[in-house]
Amino acid sequence: MSDEPVEPAIRPVGERDAEPAVRRVDQSDDEATAAAGEDDLPPVSALTGPERRLDPRVRYQWALGAVVGAGIAGAIAAVAGLFLFDDPVTLGGGAFLLLAAVGLVFAVLRYRVWRYEVRTDSLFLERGVLTRVRTVVPYVRIQHVDVSRGPVERTLGLASVVVYTAGSRGADVTIPGVTPERADDLQARLKQLAIVAEGEDAV
């Protein structure tokens, strides 16, 4: 038995050998990436790319998140201020302004630091303002790739690519702030690269 992951789990012994050769060609039209062999895939060099930064609009996404977070914290501080000092404005407003300012600075800094690179054997990410993190995800280890678009991302015309591995930090690998076209393209590339890398057993 072969160990390809695309193969259905259950298959009577010998069915693979009995399969007509023509069927593969039929399949390769609509299921090009799933059923076709390596020869149908573009060469790895066409799939990889140079180091890339995120779309600048991601700053607005993060800034908005920071402002909303600061707003919530400010509201809590205002309530606390009301009960403790009978003055909701100073504490609440102060907390809001401070947190919002910090959040905005971080949004800009985070954007400056963020890098990702689709390399030959692995996906490479660099990010983090306070804690600088560099992650290497070998394509063989990719379980699946999601493209997600939250409401804010949709408004700004952005998307996130989430790469899952079997590791304990699986969902940690997210590339935010890419355009939807770029996200779909990235998803397709990663899928193809994972197939070329031919993950026999991802675990």
Partner 1 sequence: MKLHPLSVVYRTGTAVSRFAWVLVIGAVSTSQFGGLGTGAAVALAAAVVGVFAYQIVYVRRFDYELTADTFDLRSGVVSRRTREIPYRRVQNVDVSRNVLQRALGIAELRIETAGGGETEAQLRYVSDDEADRIQREIGRLKRGVAEDETDPQPETTKELFAITARELLLLGVVRVDLRLLSFVTVLLPIVIPSVSETFPLLDLLRAAPLVLGGLVALALVVSSAAAVANYYGFELHRGADELRYRRGLLQEYSGTIPLDKVQSVSVTENVLARRLGYASLEVETAGYAPGGNGNGSQSAVPLARRERVFDLARSVEGFGEVSFQRPPRRARTRYAVRYSLVVAFLTAVSLAVVRFTPISPPVPALSPLVLLIFVPVAAHLKWANLGYALTDDHFVAREGFWTRTTRVVPYYRVQTLVESATVFQRRRDLATLVVDTAGSQGFGANDARALDIDVSRANELRRTLEERFQTALVATRAENAGRRNRRSRLSGSTPSDD
The contact set with partner 1 (CB under 8 A) reads 1-3, 9-10, 13, 121-122, 128, 130-138, 140-141, 165-169, 172-173, 198, 200, 202-203
* CB neighbours of residue 140 within 10 Å: 17
- What is the C-alpha separation between 109 and 196, in angstroms, rounded? 36
Identify which of residues 16 and 154 has a Cβ nearer to partner 1 in the complex.
16
- Of the pair 23, 134, the CB lying nearest partner 1 is at 134
3-state SS assignment for residue 197: helix
> From the CB of 44, what's the least distance to partner 1, in Å?
13
Which of 66, 125 has the CB closer to partner 1? 125
Please report where in the chains the tokens 């090009």 appear, as a residue: 32
Minimum gap (Å) between residue 108 Cβ and partner 1: 17
The alpha carbon torsion through 119, 123, 124, 128 (nearest 10 deg) reads 150
Minimal distance in Å, beta carbon 24 to partner 1? 20
Distance between CA atoms of 88 and 78, rounded to whole angstroms?
4
Q: Residues 79, 85, 90, 94: is their CA dihedral positive or negative? A: negative
Could you say which DSSP state residue 31 is in?
S
End-to-end CA distance of the chain: 18
Angle, CA of 28, 161 and 104, to the nearest 5°: 160
The label of the residue with tokens 């062999």 reads: 37
Q: How far is the CB of 32 from partner 1 (least distance, A)?
A: 23
Is the CB of 18 or the CB of 130 nearer to partner 1? 130
Q: Which H or E run contains 23?
A: helix 21-30
Whichever of 170 and 180 has its CB closer to partner 1, that residue is: 170
CB of 68 to partner 1, least distance (A): 25
Shortest distance in whole angstroms from residue 66 CB to partner 1: 19
Pick 26 or 198: Cβ nearer partner 1: 198
